[in-house]
Structure 1
């Protein structure tokens, strides 16, 4: 790992691998897929005295979201190959509530409302939340400016795309230094 300081003496005990893939479909839709694998480097006994040998997944989960070019979810498929409790896969049913939700503004809120708490699975919520980033990287029209004169949605969302930074100045000079319109509160507007 290219970090400056070497790590202290240590022992690896837990590994989580997360993978995202995006596919352009022939029907002009997009598939965004996510996979999560958790495993321990030592044997573990789970609930119900279920023995899981070292290197065997405790969690192995999959999600496929099919989205349109506006990043609205058209279909969801979710599966759990490995899970700690026998009834964990029942949480995949609630994933269907995400059909019709937009992966743009309000995505996190939609996930919390539809999959929050015992309605869903913590690990699947983490996966689906993070699926928005690879979706944005794949569905190119999300990065073009519309006729409304507003900047693309990714500008102003990180250091690299700071409206006052070199990235925007070079690639989107029309939005260099851009400031969103400030809404006046009603009391100030009356005066």
Structure 2
């Protein structure tokens, strides 16, 4: 009855910056009567996108949103909160909380805010294409302590990143 597609793409730009693009597309497989009018099968109910440009430290340099379809065109798409306020935030340091504080509940578009929640992990995967996974350097690999399998006290880290293994859970 309902299909939601979320697509994220990451790109390295010629200027050394990175673009992360996210798109959310909702549609129905049957006629969908709304107060604002009938949506036909396959017609977009939501078609919403965001693109952020980040530097190598995952600081947001630019943020652009696009709303091409909503249930209430002329309303949802015209009075959007200023999502460029995320410029200056770091995707890996307090980003999710900051987005919730800025745009939670009725302070933002629920669908745009939801898309923003995907950006840190999409950026991580994009950036991972450029970094040797277990390079022996003086800096802890960026992927450690970002999920349970790669916590410093995990068996995974003990086996694959022994230099960074810590024998006990700090919590």
The TM-score normalised by the length of structure 2 is: 0.85
Partner deviation per Cα, 1:101-130 (whole Å, 9 max, x = no partner): 110120111101222222211111111111
Structure 2 equivalent of residue 3 of structure 1: none
Q: Please show how residues 22-37 of structure 1 align to structure 2 within 5 Å.
A: 22-37=10-25
2: CA distance, partners of 1:54 / 1:18: 18
Structure 2 equivalent of residue 111 of structure 1: 99
1:92 is displaced (CA, Å) by 4.1
Structure 1 equivalent of residue 62 of structure 2: 75
Q: Does 1:134 align with 2:122?
A: yes
User: Unpaired runs of 5+ in structure 2?
Assistant: none
SS of residue in 2 equivalent to 1:79? strand
**Count, aligned residues:** 166
Structure 2 equivalent of residue 169 of structure 1: 158
Contact 1:92–1:120 at 8 Å: present in 2 too?
yes
2: CA distance, partners of 1:36 / 1:100: 24
Q: Which has the larger radius of gyration?
A: 1
Q: Does 1:160 align with 2:149?
A: yes
Structure 2 equivalent of residue 65 of structure 1: 52
2: CA distance, partners of 1:156 / 1:97: 28
The TM-score normalised by the length of structure 1 is: 0.77
2: CA distance, partners of 1:91 / 1:145: 49
Structure in which a larger fraction of residues adopt helix: 1
Q: Superposition RMSD on alpha carbons, in Å?
A: 2.4
> In structure 2, do the counterparts of structure 1 residues 99 and 91 end up closer, same or farther at CA, with 3 Å as the change threshold?
farther
User: Unpaired runs of 5+ in structure 1?
Assistant: 1-12, 183-191
